[in-house]
Structure 1
C-alpha cells in the first residue's frame, strides 16, 4: 500500500478529477425513474441518457490522442473538463428528454477527452509502474462509481435537475485541481503527432482486437446491470442511491484489494474467465428474480465485488496486448468496448417495452457468456509471454508425470 500512497501531486490531482468524472456514470442511476416521470419519457427514451453518453465516449476516443498530441495532455484534460461543466449544467436546465440526451452526449465527449488522457498521464507519472497505475485508476473508478449514486440519490431527492448542477460544480473543482497540480505538457513534435486513424490501425493487431471484443461483451453485461436495473427495481431515489452506493463500494474493494490478491495466486486469463462466469450467473439470477426486490438488491450489490476484480484484471490485460503506444492502444480499445456501453441501455429499454422486464438481463448474461467463449478460444493471443510459457511448462510437467 505504500507504493500506492507515495505518488506525485500531479497523480493525485488527476485521480481527484477521475473520481468526479466517474461519478457521472452512476449519478443518473437513482434519478432515472424520476427523470422518466418528470419528462414523460419511456424506458427506451430515458436509457438514451446512457446510450448517447457512451456512444460519444467510444467515438471521441479516436479524438483523444489526436488532440493531446497537438495541444498537450494537460490542455486536453482541461478542455474535456470544461465541456463536462457546460454540458452537465445545460442538461440540468433542459426541459425535454431529447435536450437532456443531447447535452449528455456533449458530456460524454468531454469525459472521453479527459479519461483517455488521464489514464496515459497516470501511467506516465505514477511511481511503481503500470500495475500500480492501473490500481490507482481503477480505485478512482470504484470510488467515483460508488459515490455517484449516493450523490445522485441525495441531490435527486431535492429535484432531478440538482445532480446535474452538482456535477458542474464538482468538475469545476477538478478543473482547478488539474490546472494547478499538473505540470504543463508540450505538444508532440510534428513527426510524432497521432492521426485520427492511428487507434483503428492499432486494432489490426489480432491480440488487441480480440481483447477489445472481449471487453465489448463484458461492458454489454456491465451496463445492462448498471443502466437498466434501476427501472425494474422501482425504489425511491434515496433507496436506489443506497443500493448502488453499496454496489460501488464493492467495485472499489474488488479493484483495490481483490484483483491484486487474486492475481498473485491465479493466472490472469483463468481469473478473468471466472469473473465472466460469475457475472453471467448474477445477471441470470437478477432476471429470474425480476419481481423479487430483495433478491435483486442482494444480487446487484454482490456483483460489485466481481465487477471490481474484472475491471482491474481486464485493464491490466488490455494494456499489455499491443506493441503500439499505450495511449493509442487505449483509444482503439475504448472505441470498441464502449460500443457495448452504448448499445446495451437502449436495447434494454426496447426489450423491456416489447418483450418483458427480465429479457434485458438474459441478453446481458448471454453476451458475457459469449465473451467467456471468445476469451477461451483466444487465450493464446490474450496471454502474456510469461503466462504462456508458464502454461506450457505446466503442460509438459503433466505429460511427464503421466508417462
Structure 2
C-alpha cells in the first residue's frame, strides 16, 4: 500500500494541506478578535464564509471537472487556495479576511471533490488501500491544522494564512509535474444533477441529518476557543488532540463499530454521545479541563459518525456516487455555514447557550435520521438483521468500486 507512484503522494500531500484549512484558524480566532477589535460572531464568519462557499460550489464541481478534466480541476482549485489564503493574511479588517476566506473555500471545493477519485485511479493495489491512504491524508490534515495554526499563530495571526499559501504552492507544483493528463474523453455532467438527486428521500434525510449535527460540530470548532481562553499554541494543541482522535476513529474505530453494532446504530450512538458531550460542556463551560476533555472526546465520536454517514451516502441513492456526494455536501455544509456565526452571536449573551443549542440540534438530527430509516433500509439491511455479519467499510467499498466519496 505504501509503494505508490509520485502522483499519489503529491495529491495526498495536497489533501493534507487542504484539510488543514478546516481547523487552521481555530487557534487564531481569539487573537484576531483581540487585535482587530472584533466580536466572536464577527470572527466566526471566517468559518461561515468558507463553509458556505464550499457548500454552494459543490453543486458545480462535477460540472467543471467533467469538462476540463481532473488535473486541471485540481490545479485550478490549488491556485485559488493559494490566492485566497495569501491575500487573507495581508488584510487588516475582519470583513476582508472573511471575504478571502470565502475564496479559499471555493478552491477547496474544486480540489476536494476531485482528489479521492484521482488517488483511486492512480494508486497501486486495491481500491480499499487507496481509500485508506485518502482517509489517512484527511485525518492527518484535520489533526495538523490546529497544531500548525497554533505554532504559526503564536508568532502572528497572519502566519497560518501565509503558511497554507506556501504549502499549497508546493502542492501545486508537485501535482502539475507528477499528475498525467487524462486520455479519456470527457463525459459532461449536468449542472442540475446534484439538486435533482436530492429528490431521493434517503439522500435528503442523510443530508439534513448532517446539516443538523454540523451545528454541533462547528459550534465546538468555532466557539470553544473563546471560553477556553488559551494562547494560540495552547488552543492548537487542544484541537490537535481533537483532530488526531477524529482521524483514528475514522480509519480504525468506525469499521469496528460497524461490524459489531451496525451502521444505523453506530451513527445513532455516536450522535447521541456527541450531544451528551456538548451538554456537559454547556453545564461546565467555565471549567477549562471539561472543555479540553469534551473537545478531544468529541473528535472520536465525530470520526465514527463521519465515516459511517459517508458510506451511507454512497449507498443510499441510485444516482452516481459523485453526484450523491456533491448533493450531500451542499446540504451539510449549510449547517457548517450557519452554526459558527450563530454560536458566536449567542455566546455574546451567554457562554453556555451555544453548547445547549448545538446539543439540541444534534438530538434533532437523530430524530430526522430515525424518520427516514425506512428509506435507508437498503443501506443497513444486513446490519439490522445481524450486526455481526456486517462487512468492514473498506471491503464493501472495494467490492462496489467506490471512486468518489464526500470529505
2:191 maps to which of 196, 199, 202: 196
User: 1:290 is matched with which residue?
Assistant: 285
The 5-angstrom pairing of residues 144-163 of structure 1 reads 144-163=141-160
Give the alignment's TM-score, normalised by structure 1.
Answer: 0.91
Q: Which position in structure 2 is the counterpart of 1:183?
A: 180
1:60-90 per-residue CA deviation (whole Å, 9 max, x = no partner) reads 1112111101110111011010000011010
Matches within 5 A, 1:209-228: 209-228=204-223
1:309 maps to what in 2?
A: 304
**Cross-structure match for 2:94:** 97
Cα gap change, 1:390 to 1:311, in 2 (>3 Å): closer
Q: Mark the CA change 1:251 to 1:74 in structure 2 (over 3 Å): closer, same or farther.
A: same
- 2 CA distance for matches of 1:309 and 1:302? 11
Q: Distance in 1 between matches of 2:192 and 2:49?
A: 22
**1:370 pairs with 364, 372, 384, which one?**
364
Contact 1:69 1:187 in 2 (8 A): no
Q: How does 1:231-270 map to 2 (within 5 A)?
A: 231-270=226-265
Counterpart for residue 38 of structure 1: 35
1:382 corresponds to 2:379 = no
The Cα offsets for residues 261-294 of structure 1, whole Å up to 9 and x where unpaired, read as 2222221111111100110001111111111111
Alignment partner of 2:119 out of 119, 122, 131: 122
SS at the partner of 1:383? Answer: helix
- 3-state SS, counterpart of residue 44 of structure 2: helix
Residues 1:96 and 1:186: Cα distance change in structure 2 (over 3 Å): farther
Offset at 1:389? 4.9
Deviation, 1:225, is: 0.7
Cα distance in 2 for residues equivalent to 1:272 and 1:72:
35
Q: Is the 8 A contact 1:120 1:327 kept in 2?
A: no
Compared CA separation, residues 133 and 370, structure 1 to 2 (3 A): farther
Mapped partners of 1:312, 1:124: distance in 2:
21
Q: 1:70, 1:187 within 8 Å by CA — same for their partners in 2?
A: no
> Equivalent residue for 2:346?
351
- Measured against aligned partners, the alpha-carbon deviations of 1:326-358 in whole angstroms (never above 9, x if no partner) come to 21111111110100100000001111123x111
Note if contact 2:263-2:383 (Cα within 8 Å) is conserved in structure 1: no
Q: TM-score, normalised by structure 2?
A: 0.90
Given the alignment of the two structures, is residue 68 of structure 1 paired with residue 62 of structure 2, yes or no? no
Structure 2 CA distance for partners of 1:188 and 1:360, relative to 1, 3 Å: farther
Deviates more, 1:50-59 or 1:4-13: 4-13
Contact 2:76 2:107 in 1 (8 A): yes
Q: Cα–Cα, structure 1 residues 258 and 126, in superposed 2: closer, same or farther, change >3 Å?
A: farther
Q: Is the 8 A contact 2:202 2:317 kept in 1?
A: yes
Q: Distance in 1 between matches of 2:129 and 2:198?
A: 25
Instruction: Name the CA shift for 1:7/1:267 in 2 (closer, same or farther; >3 Å).
Output: farther
- CA apart distance, 1:363: 0.8
How far is the alpha carbon of 1:129 from its aligned partner?
A: 6.0
1:5-84 aligned within 5 A: 5=2, 7-84=4-81
1:101-132 Cα deviation digits (max 9, x unpaired): 00000000000011111133334455666655
Range that drifts further, 130-139 or 90-99: 130-139
Match of 2:405 in 1: none
Q: Tell me which residue corresponds to 2:402.
A: none
The answer as to whether partners of 1:52 and 1:342 remain within 8 angstroms in 2 is yes
For residues 358 and 126 of structure 1, the distance between their equivalents in structure 2, rounded to whole angstroms, comes to 47
Q: Which residue of 2 is the match for residue 397 of structure 1?
A: none
5+ residue gaps, structure 2, are 388-407
Deviation at 1:246? Answer: 1.2
Selected match of 1:167 from 160, 164, 176: 164
Match of 1:113 in 2: 110
Asked if 2 retains the 8 angstrom alpha-carbon contact of 1:73 and 1:121, the reply is yes
